[in-house]
């Protein structure tokens, strides 16, 4: 509190508790984050309107980008089929040797192991590419919806 010459209170300063100070700091951080998000949204909106002149252009861009991902998915699928065929051949060879009571060579065991790892790796790549395709599709859907909002077209 601030007093004048006669001892009367002129200005009373409130002392904040640590919890109140933390709450104020959190509110300030949230406010700055919200302002930053708003600026980013405006920047994206401007870029969207400046990049595309109509919805068809958004669809064309989507299709162009999806073609690249679909080509990668097709490539992975064919490599995965070959890897699985190789794995199956190695498994059949190992089974035949085991049934005949013959020893399975260490090189065959190694081939089996490598083939399984290759198939698993390609399967992961395929899942990743499919997820990327879904994400890209969703992004273009959102861009198209936002473009409609902004332009009223």
How distant is the alpha carbon of residue 8 from its chain centre?
A: 63
Supply the pLDDT for residue 8.
74
CA pair distance 62, 66, nearest whole angstrom: 6
Q: Which residues contact 132 (CB under 8 A, 6 or more apart)?
A: 69
Q: Are 108 and 94 in contact (CB under 8 A)?
A: yes
147-151's contacts with Cβ under 8 Å and 24+ in sequence apart are: 147/48, 147/49, 147/52, 147/55, 147/58, 148/55, 150/45, 150/48, 150/49, 151/49
* Segments making up each domain of the chain, as ranges: 1-51, 54-153
Supply the pLDDT for residue 1.
60
Residue 101 DSSP symbol: T
Supply the pLDDT for residue 87.
97
Average pLDDT along the chain, 153 residues, taken 10 residues at a time: 71 75 91 94 94 95 97 98 97 94 92 97 98 97 94 81
Q: Report pTM.
A: 0.69
Residue 17 DSSP symbol: P
User: Buried b vs exposed e over 22-54: b needs ≥16 C-beta within 10 Å?
Assistant: eeeeeeeeeeeeeeeeeeeeeeeeeebeeebee
């Amino acid at each position: 509190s601030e007093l004048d010459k006669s001892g009367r209170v002129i200005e009373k300063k409130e002392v904040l508790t640590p919890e109140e100070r933390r709450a104020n700091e959190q509110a300030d951080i949230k406010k700055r984050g919200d302002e930053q998000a708003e600026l980013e949204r405006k920047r994206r909106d401007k870029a969207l309107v400046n990049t595309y002149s109509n919805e068809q252009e958004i669809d064309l861009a989507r299709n162009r980008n999806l073609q690249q991902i679909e080509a990668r998915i097709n490539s992975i699928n064919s490599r995965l089929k070959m890897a699985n065929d190789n794995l199956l051949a190695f498994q059949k060879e190992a089974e035949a040797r085991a049934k005949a009571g013959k020893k399975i060579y260490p090189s065959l065991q190694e081939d089996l192991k490598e083939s399984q790892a290759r198939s698993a790796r390609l399967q992961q790549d395929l899942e990743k590419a499919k997820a990327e395709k879904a994400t890209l599709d969703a992004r273009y859907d959102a861009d198209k919806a936002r473009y409609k909002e902004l332009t009223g077209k």
